[in-house]
Structure 1
């Protein structure tokens, strides 16, 4: 009787351990796609303050194309693409395309120093608590999301962008 009880208990423990292993594997293999933003989705709305104290609400840009860029001052690829973004902003800002560059969780001093160093003219938004970064489930930096004039995400690009790529992206979200 004791042997049978012990065997039953070991079987239950083994079954629980196997279920835990199967669940862990499932969770790890599907985490990349679970809950992630996808092209064709409506871009989640947000409110952020820029470096000049102005409020920016994504939904206020309906009717314009939005080049939404997540970045950090410590990120070398971010630093390399910023001048290209600024050049193309000069070309497209009067054609209905806006850049919203979201800095993720850095102090104003570091952001201001970076902006001055590169002479950036587009709005730099402060995501102090990384709320928007988490809302959009952004990894890694830089990541750029293109949003059309109807508020639909048309592209999600991770990594450094060339100036030619930025130009093509802005052209693709320019209102017709």
Structure 2
């Protein structure tokens, strides 16, 4: 009887182990499948975005540019309420022009420092979300809430701003002085001290 009980106990333990291993394997492959689907969707969005960029043949308007020391090229962009504004509307005050997307890890890393700079200085931040690359527009307000962003976020519908500035890596950030002249360009994430340093140079 003792042998039978031990055999039964061992069989039950073995069954549980097999079930757990099987479940773990199933979960692993399901997670991999979901991750693959997300990456495929993102790749399709990026392909669409890049194809839009390739259609851009005109450079910045005459008298405007994309380089340090040049007057920043103007462009239209939408508020969350659908109102169209232009970069030139903010002439007379320094502007941090930041191109980003919710799916971009460096953008996520940078955003808390961007928020702190805004809280500490009140500088105008023209936060240009590359909405054409987002899988869902709902991701933007979710991102804003998650990161406690209190500065205005704008939607680059049609990729006009990104095309004008020929944005490739993101985040990309332009520091533009009160006269509309580009004073600094950053390709990649910035930290708090770097942003403050560049703002000080524009005073």
Q: TM-score, normalised by structure 1?
A: 0.73
Deviation per residue, 1:10-57 (Å, 9 max, x gap): xxxxxxxxxxxxxxxxxxxxxxxxx68211111111121122444332
Instruction: Name which of 125, 138, 151 aligns with 1:99.
Output: 125
| Residue 159 of structure 1 pairs with residue 188 of structure 2 | yes
| Residue 59 of structure 1 pairs with residue 85 of structure 2 | no
Instruction: Name which of 118, 138, 159 aligns with 1:130.
Output: 159
2: distance between equivalents of 1:173 and 1:119? 27
Partner of 2:119: 90
Alignment RMSD: 1.6
Partner of 1:78: 107
2: distance between equivalents of 1:56 and 1:69? 15
- Which has the higher Rg, Structure 1 or Structure 2? 2
How far did residue 171 of structure 1 move? 2.4
2: distance between equivalents of 1:172 and 1:108? 36
User: Conserved in 2, the CA contact under 8 Å of 1:92 and 1:170?
Assistant: no
1: distance between equivalents of 2:81 and 2:196? 26
Structure with greater strand percent: 1
Partner of 1:147: 176
Larger relative CO (CA 8 A, sep 6+): 1 or 2? 1
Deviation per residue, 1:56-77 (Å, 9 max, x gap): 3211111100000000101111
Structure 1 outlier segments of 4+, above 6 Å: none
Aligned length: 137
Q: TM-score, normalised by structure 2?
A: 0.63
Unaligned 5+ runs, structure 1 = 1-34
How far did residue 117 of structure 1 move? 0.4
User: Conserved in 2, the CA contact under 8 Å of 1:140 and 1:159?
Assistant: yes
